[in-house]
Structure 1
Amino acid sequence: MKEARFYEPRENNSVRCVLCPHECLINNGKHGICLIRKNINGKLFQTAYGEISALALDPIEKKPLYHFHPGSSVLSIGTNGCNFRCDFCQNWHISTAETPRQKTTAAELLKMAEQSESIGIAFTYNEPTIWYEFVSDCAADFKKQGLKNVIVSNGYINKEPLRELIPLIDAANIDLKGFTEGFYKETLGSLEPVKNTIRTLYESGVSVEVTNLIIPTKNDDEETFLSMCGWLASVSPDIPLHLSAYFPAYKSAILPTEPETVIKMKEIAEKHLNYVYAGNLRHEKNDSLCPHCKAVLVKRNGYEVKSYLKTNRCPECGKQLYFCV
């Protein structure tokens, strides 16, 4: 365990956690919605510090990040807990309960990354922001060694901790689950803080990509989706958008998203955004094309990747691109 950051003492040994917008008031002996931030005798502790529930060497495209060092691999870790409660969660077995965890250190992870020729580390699988103390400490060590730090997050974090984390983060994929407060209320979250995270990351120079899981009857309204794409374009039309088909998981038994729906949404999004990908459709091509001259920049067949980029400029027309290579 490690004493948590971003909390305030309250009466009767309770504490107010101010890491995320829930700002849980936590009584002595209890934990917040995230499961792994616990009040012990009037102090808030991170109870999963240096403890991982999942570890793998993944293609960077699996995060998904298509514009950040295409074709590379990244050491990926996660722990338990989440500050959302999505009925459709695909990683519910580690996000909704505490499971057996393996102890590790930043030094051990650095050694793994270097031995595996990883570009760095990705904090993923569960919500990394609730693991803030270990993520920031580990990311600082990776940064010192010239390696990259990636977060795959729901973006539900308060402004101050986000600002402090940003200098350590090189790339982020943010899950924009929908574009109405009503839909976010079902996940026990709120839309505006997520929008703030996306905008703040982009304006701070972090390489940002966004994922949207299309769930029938929940967030597949075309007019709302169009508004979401328009807002994202107002931040930058270069931010890549990954559209994913939903499949039943956890507590959700809604029928899977039809491939035709994803393709239709992709066509809508492409009216506003320069890079739109249909993430988990087997036969959909996900090559990256130059938005200026349509030259193929990165060719993809699943996780097999062929990049034609040497810099962040198009090899054909020379225009600057939203890529880190």
Structure 2
Amino acid sequence: MPGKIRAETKKYPEKNVGGFMKEAVLYQKLEKENIQCNLCAHRCVIHPGKSGICKVRENVDGKLYTNVYGRAIAQHIDPVEKKPLYHFYPGTKAYSFATPGCNFHCKFCQNWEISQVSNERILEMGQKITPEQIVSNAKYSGCTSIAHTYTEPAIFFEYSFDVAVMAHKEGLKNIYVSNGYMTYEMLEMIGPYLDAANIDLKAFRDETYRRIIGGSLQPVLDNLKKIKEMGVWLEVTSLIIPGINDDPEEIRDMANFMAEELGTDVPWHISRFFPAWKMEEVPATHLNTLQLAEATGFEAGLKYVYIGNVASNRDATRCPACGKVLINRMEFGILKNKIQNGRCPNCGAQISGVGLG
């Protein structure tokens, strides 16, 4: 996939673009007005008048532009648990926003209406909202953090970066909910302003990434390690899909990678798949499969493993030392948080996370 481009004809009628165009960061000029975008691991080489795989970054006369700066397609106030982040300021709210587009084309995408859209539709979607307004709205609504989410924050990075810088100035935290396909250059740039991330580990086979998702596995693995090394609070989500990534051996490989390369303190969210977009014929994940994955995570040494998208008590946080329930949750809400000064009140064990109580 690296270097491949999605060739799309430039269509920038002023009435549609308005103030959404902005010169991009992290690109280099090549011969004959060609451009290489260095924002995500595709590193698209883009010819004049064409756009990259994400469809929102275009070569205009030898310069790279984003056409989604300030183009908010979604804005919501969410529980931070919905990201999902269970060990980062539990019980608080995150002001969540996104623009259209994505650099992946997952056939099982849950947000395909806003991520998998044509160039023409992108130019018609969203409303103008400045970074200052995003931050102001977050503060006014009493949020602790701003979540760059729903689609892929890497593809609206210029917008996201400006929001993140302003958020920190106002005492707000920044969260990335991402597919993990960014470049090191992008991570280095956002690093000082990024407080937490939930990264999708969508499979543990490169063939699956190339066939079903539209990318490759290794950049995601490398970025998971990089984010952890940067000191950003990290949690990982894996959507378990029947016939795609539910093989017990593959799940074991995922769990072992996390334990050995990221550390046993990194929470792993195992989510149930429901039929969506181009995979509506695939059945929902059986609960037994999710329970097996949960057990595999614990067997690998992970301290915090959660099952998501199910009606059960599998999302409670337990002390890894004594097993006592420390945080009870229901539908992304906190029923009770017993953690005191980051420790289990029963045995005194340190509980991994940030702002736990």
TM-score (norm. length: structure 2):
0.89
AA paired with 1:205?
G
- 2:333 and 2:166 mapped to 1: Cα distance? 30
- 1:86 and 1:170 mapped to 2: Cα distance? 27
Which residue in the other structure is 1:134 paired with?
159
Q: CA deviation at 1:24?
A: 0.8
Report the 3-state secondary structure (helix = DSSP H, G, I; strand = E; otherwise coil) of the residue aligned with 2:215. coil
AA paired with 2:193?
L
Q: 1:311 pairs with 336, 341, 352, which one?
A: 341
Structure 2: which 5+ residue stretches go unaligned? 1-20
Aligned positions, number: 325
Which residue in the other structure is 1:270 paired with?
298
Which residue in the other structure is 2:308 paired with?
279
- 2:208 and 2:128 mapped to 1: Cα distance? 36
Q: 2:67 pairs with 10, 22, 47, which one?
A: 47
Which residue in the other structure is 2:278 paired with?
251
Q: CA deviation at 1:271?
A: 1.0
1:74-223 aligned within 5 A: 74-97=94-117, 98=122, 99-186=124-211, 187-223=213-249
- 1:284 and 1:30 mapped to 2: Cα distance? 49
- 1:304 and 1:34 mapped to 2: Cα distance? 34
AA paired with 2:236?
V
Q: CA deviation at 1:282?
A: 0.8
- 2:34 and 2:214 mapped to 1: Cα distance? 22
Does structure 1 retain, via aligned residues, the 8 Å contact 2:79–2:333? no
Q: CA deviation at 1:200?
A: 1.2
Report the 3-state secondary structure (helix = DSSP H, G, I; strand = E; otherwise coil) of the residue aligned with 2:147. strand
Report the 3-state secondary structure (helix = DSSP H, G, I; strand = E; otherwise coil) of the residue aligned with 2:236. strand
Which residue in the other structure is 1:5 paired with?
25
1:293-325 per-residue CA deviation (whole Å, 9 max, x = no partner) reads 222221112222021224222222222221111
- 2:202 and 2:319 mapped to 1: Cα distance? 27
> Which deviates more from structure 2 when the two are superposed, residues 103-112 or residues 149-158?
103-112
1:15-56 per-residue CA deviation (whole Å, 9 max, x = no partner) reads 111111111111111110111111111100111111100000
1:104-124 per-residue CA deviation (whole Å, 9 max, x = no partner) reads 112211221111110021000
AA paired with 2:337?
S
Structure 1: which 5+ residue stretches go unaligned? none
Does structure 2 retain, via aligned residues, the 8 Å contact 1:285–1:300? no
AA paired with 2:216?
S
Which residue in the other structure is 1:72 paired with?
92
- 1:178 and 1:312 mapped to 2: Cα distance? 32
1:276-301 per-residue CA deviation (whole Å, 9 max, x = no partner) reads 11111112431101111222221112
TM-score (norm. length: structure 1):
0.97
